[in-house]
Structure 1
């Protein structure tokens, strides 16, 4: 799954929710999903699975990838060549964030956002 496909999945998921998400919440959801997918592709080589769920007051985004290495922040590249902004944005937007290793290898990054 590419970051673009993950964004489409987030948008399609949001379209099923009632009441609809506020514009800012939809933007935050889309950004988090996109960044998690891009990070999994760039640093772990693949997105194994994307899971989205909603409760009355929260949205949950879970992405599985094949790497056991937890995400690590790094200094942003202000010239734009190497990034470094995604993990920091995810941390700022998340109400909660957890990284767990998966049996058999890999990890899940779980982000909870306010609905």
Structure 2
């Protein structure tokens, strides 16, 4: 789906037009925050502050990983299925993070990195890493809001 498209009413996925391109974690967080506040609906009501904080942490980690370890951010997509927020982050690297499907155990000592993937594993569901036709990969996660 192109960033400027809107899906028909009743579709379980929604996207907002981007006012600025997503080129940083801050821009991605801003876009996702606006999307959730304006468009996400659930029978239980709006997302809690804790759920939104968790979501924005996952957004930051995914985008930062793409920029720092994936050769740059090749694309960023957001969808709103009934259970939460689906994030698709595209980068230019074929390398799959070694901890991508681990148990989510945090490092015992701080060594400057190593916290991002365990946090993503703890906070997200349905984590998928798929190669892109044009090279690189897409990391796709579902962050529950219910």
**Short-chain TM bin:** 0.7 to 0.9
Q: More deviation in 9-18 or 22-31?
A: 9-18
Is residue 78 of structure 1 aligned with residue 109 of structure 2? Answer: yes
Count of aligned pairs: 114
CA distance in 2, matches of 1:45, 1:96: 24
- Partner-residue secondary structure (3-state), 1:12: helix
CA distance in 2, matches of 1:58, 1:7: 15
Mark the runs of 5 or more structure 1 residues left unpaired by the alignment: none
The TM-score normalised by the length of structure 1 is 0.88
Counterpart of 1:99 in structure 2 is: 129
- The RMSD of aligned alpha carbons is 1.9
Q: Deviations over 1:42-72 (max 9, x none)?
A: 1012111111111222310110000011122
Counterpart of 2:30 in structure 1 is: 8
Superposition deviation, residue 77 in structure 1:
7.4
Larger Rg: 2
Greater RCO (CA < 8 Å, at least 6 residues apart)? 1
Superposition deviation, residue 109 in structure 1:
0.2
Counterpart of 1:112 in structure 2 is: 142
Of residues 46, 54, 74, the one that matches 1:28 is: 54
Please say if residues 40 and 80 of structure 2, whose CA atoms lie closer than 8 Å, have aligned partners that are also in contact: no
Counterpart of 2:65 in structure 1 is: 39
Please say if residues 72 and 87 of structure 1, whose CA atoms lie closer than 8 Å, have aligned partners that are also in contact: no
Give the structure with the higher percent helix. 1
